[in-house]
Structures are given as structure tokens and as C-alpha cells.
Chain A
Amino acid sequence: MTALAALIRRDVSVALRVGGGALIGVLFFLTVVVLMPFAVGPDLALLKKLGPAILWLGALLASLLTLDRLFTADHDDGSLDLIVMSRTPLELACAAKALAHWLAAGLPLVAATPVLGLLLNLDGTATGAVALTLLAGTPALTFTGMIGAALAVVLRRGGLLLSVLVLPLSIPVLIFGVAASNAALSGPSPFGTPFSILCALSLASLVIGPFAAAASLRHGLD
């Protein structure tokens, strides 16, 4: 337990310090959202309608961008081998690493949402709904994305391959995240149903992600 706590503390502090690059995700998120009005036009009514979708897409791409860092740095300096060989079960270590990654890279996206909601002309309820769905949904993005990150580090091919593998897996999260936000914004369906399914997706990926990532690390790093 202390080993896992130490791993989380180390990962978070490494990600937040110089060269960690966790906050670049937020900057990317901001840039994507700022770019959108240039593509669809500065029509505030249209932006309000598209707002939840734009925020979700931005958060999805931003979390994808930072996924590369989940295992690469540890693999480069050799600490990943130590983690694989240590007595802590690799599944738990993977879960701890993903949790740390979410704290450093996922949570700032949620925190940035209210500010970005202002830019997209979203009112209080809508912004709150998007922030809440992002809070519930980004763990799923991190934990399923971890599988792709583990494959990428094992194969020493990151970047585009990782995105191609991970993006189709994140479709359910996107669907239910945007659906719940839109339900809070305009109805007619209740907010609770898609939101519960979103939470279920997060919990399921919390179980599947570490096992699949640990399997690919264990089979790949020999």
C-alpha cells in the first residue's frame, strides 16, 4: 500500500514539475476550444448548441495527447522495469500510475471547463453538467487509454499508432458524456440515465484497463 502511495506521489510530482508536461494538456484543450469558433463561425447561438460536444472533443484529444507520457518516461530511465519486477502486483501498479496520470492531466481539464464554457456561451447549468460529466468520464479515457500507452511503449511506437488504437475504444465514453451534457442543457431525456452509464463505463475501464495494460507490459518487456 505504501509502495502504491509512493508511486502515485512520485508520478504526480514528476508530472507537475519542469519537463513533466501535464499542464500542456490544458493548454492544448484551451487552444482547441479557441480554434472552434474560427471553424464554425462566431455565432453564439450555434456555439451554445455545440458547446458540450466541443468541450468533450477537446478534452478527449487533450487526454489522448498526454497519454504518451504515461509509460514512456519510466521506460526510458529504466524505472518501468523495476516496477514490473517489484513485489507489488503489476495490475495495481498500473492502476496507481493511471490514477496519478489522471490527477495530474485529467483533473486540470475538468477544472478548466468552467472558464472554457464561458467562451462557448454556455450558462451555469450547462457548464456544471459538462464539468460533472468530464469528472465522471475522464477516468474512463485515462484507463482505456492506458492500454494503448502500454502497447505503444512495448512496441516503441507512440504517437499516431496510439491514437488510432485508442480513439475507437473511447467512442462509448464520448457518446454518453455528450448525451448527459445535452440532456442537462435541453432535455428531453433525463440526465441521470446517460450519466449512470458513463459512471459504469468508468468503473468497468477501471477494472479492464490495468489488467490489459499489465498483460501487454508483462508479455512485451522481456
Chain B
Amino acid sequence: MTLIDLANPSRFLSLAGRILPWLVAVTVLVLAIGLYQSATAPDDYQQGATVKIMFIHVPNAWLSMFVWSVMSVAALGTLVWRHPLADVAAKTAAPIGAAFTFLALLTGSLWGRPMWGTYWEWDARLTSVLILFLMYLGLMALWRAVEDPSRAARAAAVLTLVGAINIPIIKFSVDWWNTLHQPASVIRMGGTTLDRAFLIPLLVMAVGFTLLFLTLHIAAMRNEILRRRVRTLQMLQASKSAA
């Protein structure tokens, strides 16, 4: 089965129906292992138990960027190959990516309160993730602004690709901006190399969250296809009763 076979939504639906139960099972298993390992990981000698927030925070931050890359590939699929599933994939990835970005910000802020003494710091990383969150919200607003899904898909695809070019530029400029103004307060977690006791749970959690994204994304794509079918049927019904 190749990517072009999936252009038929019914074929995608049947495939998704077969894959999803297994995917859910594997996701739950990996996340359970990851959570157990995170809970039993030793406390950091400086950060104490708060270091465990990292096991949730870092995978969310990774996924916040990974989801935009997935949407960029889907945007190429929409603009270049006109793949019918690409715009479904792009549309359903946006809210999930926004949720991961929000969780990264939230957990980071909860970690920052005991560690830095403040919920929010205009640190370069925090700021660029916040801007990424704003761009996710803008993209979702664009999807919601237009009724016709294929028209919205092409506009959103252009914006997604422009964002993919711009996000590294924004990241770079925000880094520059912060180091110019307050070089003393740039606090980087990656300053020291991670110990194995922290690295392994972190990697397991990262895999678990990526699986979680895949599961949610496929389920959301299935819902979106069904939603579009319902909408088409409703419009058909309405035009029949009007005639």
C-alpha cells in the first residue's frame, strides 16, 4: 500500500480502524513504563523532585516543533500533489500541536516557579515557544475562518510553509534579543550532560508522547473525514428538501 492508495478516504478509514487499537495499546504501554521510570527516577541534587516535571515538559516541547514539521509536509502534500488526505492531516494536526505547545509552556512555568522564583521569565526559549503557540492559534483561526475546507486548506498550507521558514528566524532573533538585554538570566537546562538515570526515562517518555501524537492524529483524521461526510450528507438533504 502506497501513499497514493490512501487518497481514497474509505481505504484510509479501514486502515485506521485496523491500526488504531494496536496503536492505543502500544501508546498506553510505553507511557506507563515511562511514567513508572520517571516516578522512580532519583531526585536531582539541586532541583529535588521538581526535576520530574522535565519528563513531561521536554517531550511536549519536542512535539510542539515536530507537529509543525508534520504540518509542513502535509502542506507540501496539499500544494504540490493535491493529496486529499494532506489537508485533513494538516487541519487535525494544528489543535494537537497547539495543545502540546500549551502543555510545554504550562509545565515549564510550573517548573520555573520553584526553580527561578517566577512563573514567567522573558527567556529566549520561553518566548520563542510562546510565539510558536501564537502561530498555532493563528493557523487554527485561519482554518475556522473559511467554510469551504479545500479553499481553507490551500491558504493554511501557504501559511504553514511560511511559518516553517520563519520559525527558525524568529528563534534566532529571540535568542539574539535576549542575550543582548539580560545575559545573566539565560538559564539553560542542557548545560550539563544528562545522567543515564534521567536520560532513559526521558527518551521513553519522548517515544511515548510521539506515539500519543500519532494515535490522536489518526483518530482526529478519522473524525474529520467522518465529519466532512456528515456535512456533505446534510447539505444534500437540505438541497433535496429545498427542491
Contacts and interface: CB of A to CB of B under 8 A. Distances in A.
A212 B154 CA distance: 11
Interface in A156-201: 157, 161, 164-165, 168-169, 171-172, 175-176, 179, 189, 194, 197, 201
B235 interface: no
A155 B170 contact: no
A212 B180 contact: no
A212 B160 CA distance: 11
Interface string A101-139: 000000000000000000000000000000000000000
Nearest to A151: B155
B110 interface: no
Contacts of B158: 147, 150-151, 212, 215-216, 219
B54 to A, nearest CB: 27
Interface residues of B, number: 30
Contact-size category for A: 20 to 34
A220 interface: yes
Contacts of B56: none
Given A151-B159, A220-B151, A220-B154, A164 B169 contact: no
B136 to A, nearest CB: 10
A165 B169 CA distance: 16
A26 to B, nearest CB: 27
Given A165-B138, A168-B138, A155 B146 contact: yes
Contacts of B154: 216, 219-220
A44 interface: no
Contact of B142 (A161, A201, A212, A219): A161
A197 B172 CA distance: 11
B173 interface: yes
A157 B152 CA distance: 11
A6 interface: no
B131 A161 contact: no
B118 interface: no
B79 A215 contact: yes
A186 B151 CA distance: 49
A38 to B, nearest CB: 26
A175 B131 CA distance: 13
B79 A165 contact: no
A208 interface: yes
A154 interface: yes
Interface of A: 144, 147, 150-151, 154-155, 157, 161, 164-165, 168-169, 171-172, 175-176, 179, 189, 194, 197, 201, 204, 208, 212, 215-216, 219-220
Given A176-B173, A219-B157, A219-B158, 7 more contacts: A150-B158, A155-B142, A164-B141, A169-B170, A171-B173, A208-B162, A216-B154
Listed from nearest, the 9 A-B pairs whose CB atoms lie closest are A172-B173, A219-B154, A216-B158, A175-B177, A175-B173, A164-B138, A157-B145, A165-B138, A151-B155
